[in-house]
Structure 1
Amino acid sequence: MDFDIREIRDYYDTEVQNYDYNELISLGISHDNADFMVSIGVPEEYNDFVFYGTDTIQKTLMEGVQFITIGHYACFGIHNSYGLYVKEGSDGLFTTSSLHEPQLYMLNKNVRTFFLFHLIKNEVAMKMRLQGEYTSYQYACELRRLFEQIDPAPMKDAESYWSHLVEDYETGL
């Protein structure tokens, strides 16, 4: 199954942030992440994720490393929101969680892959339902297979956001 990342915009429910490529680069965001943020676009909100405009993006030092806060994750029922960070000059997209050790961990290898995982999650479910093949377990197996092909690190980390999401489908939660 081929996925065209531009189709992720069909799933955006809010306005797309208006970023300037050069401004993102000057903030320390990698060329690949800046390119995605400008050419494909990042919504103000997506599911439980909030993405900041350039006026709110800020640098922060964590564990002795310079990161750039580009948003936060605020799942319903969680009292504290968790930041979304890119490492300055690097592609990785990171988040924090009090349930993860260490608390700061890589969510995806870049911003594009984060949104690609969401696109895959939506498209696979729709395809399986249309073909009458959907079960929570089969869906989880297909997500795991595709995610591991594209960005295996989040699936190897048993406590990561993506690993937990797939596990919830595997167990029927």
Structure 2
Amino acid sequence: MDFDIREIREYYESEVRDYDYDELLSLGISHDNAQFMVGIGVPEEFNDFVFYGTDTFKKTFIEDIQFINIGHYACFGMRNPDGLYLKEGSDELFTTSSFHRPQIYLLNKNLKTFFLFHLIRNELAMKMRQEGEYSSQKYARELRKLYEQLDPVAMKDVEGYWSHLIEDYETGL
């Protein structure tokens, strides 16, 4: 199954942020992430994720490493949303969680892969349902296999966001 990242825009339910490529680079965003942010686009909100405009980006040190806070994850009812961070000068996308040790951890190898994971999640479920092959466990196996091929490091963390998401499907939650 081939996935075209441009199709992710069909799943955006809010306005796309207007970013300037040169400004993103000057803020320390990597070339690849800046290219994605301008070329494909990033929505203001996506599922439980909120993405900021450049006027709200904030540089911060976490565990002696400089990050750029580009948004947050706020599931319904969360009092303190978890941040979304790009490591300055790197492609890597991180998030924080008070339940995770260390508190900041790799979410995906870059923004494109983060959105590609979401696209795969939606497209695979739709395909399996259309073909009458959907079961929560089978979906979880296929999803895990695809995710591990695309971004194995993101899937290594058994306490990470993506592992927990797949575990929910495996257990039928």
TM-score tier (shorter)? over 0.9
SS in 2 for 1:101: coil
The Cα offsets for residues 75-121 of structure 1, whole Å up to 9 and x where unpaired, read as 11322100000000000000000111101000000000000000000
Shift of 1:155: 1.4
CA distance in 1, matches of 2:164, 2:80: 19
Q: Partner of 1:41: helix, strand, or coil? A: coil
Q: How large is the RMSD of aligned CA atoms in angstroms?
A: 0.5
Name the residue aligned to 2:105.
105
1:126-145 matches, cutoff 5 A: 126-145=126-145
Report what 2:166 is aligned to.
166
Deviates more, 1:17-26 or 1:75-84: 75-84
Q: Which residue identity does 1:132 align to in structure 2?
A: G
- Report the AA paired with residue 86 of structure 2: V
Residues 110-156 of structure 1: CA deviation (Å, up to 9, x unaligned): 00000000000000000000000001101000100000000011211
Runs of 4+ in 1 over 4 A off after TM superposition: none
2: CA distance, partners of 1:76 / 1:142: 28
1:148 alignment partner in structure 2: 148
TM-score (norm 2): 0.99
Q: Secondary structure at the match of 2:133?
A: coil
Deviation at 1:10, TM superposition (A): 0.2
SS of residue paired to 1:71: strand
Q: CA separation in 2, counterparts of 1:127 and 1:101?
A: 36
Identity of aligned residues (%): 74
TM-score (norm 1): 0.99
Whole-angstrom CA distance in 1 between matches of 2:154 and 2:30: 20
**Rounded Cα–Cα distance in structure 2 between residues aligned with 1:90 and 1:24:** 13
1:111-126 equivalent positions in 2, closer than 5 A = 111-126=111-126
Q: How many residues align?
A: 173
Rounded to whole Å, the distance in 1 between the matches of 2:45 and 2:98 is 22
Report the 3-state secondary structure (helix = DSSP H, G, I; strand = E; otherwise coil) of the residue aligned with 1:128: helix
User: Unaligned 5+ residue runs, structure 2?
Assistant: none
Q: Which one-letter code corresponds to 1:35 in the other structure?
A: Q
Q: How do 1:8-23 residues align onto structure 2 when only pairs under 5 Å count?
A: 8-23=8-23
> What is the CA–CA distance in structure 2 between the aligned matches of 1:77 and 1:146, rounded to whole Å?
31
2-side partners of 1:22 and 1:59: how far apart? 17
The 10-residue stretch of structure 1 (149-158 or 115-124) with the greater mean CA deviation from structure 2: 149-158
Distance 2:66 2:22 in 1: 19
Q: Distance in 2 between matches of 1:102 and 1:164?
A: 16
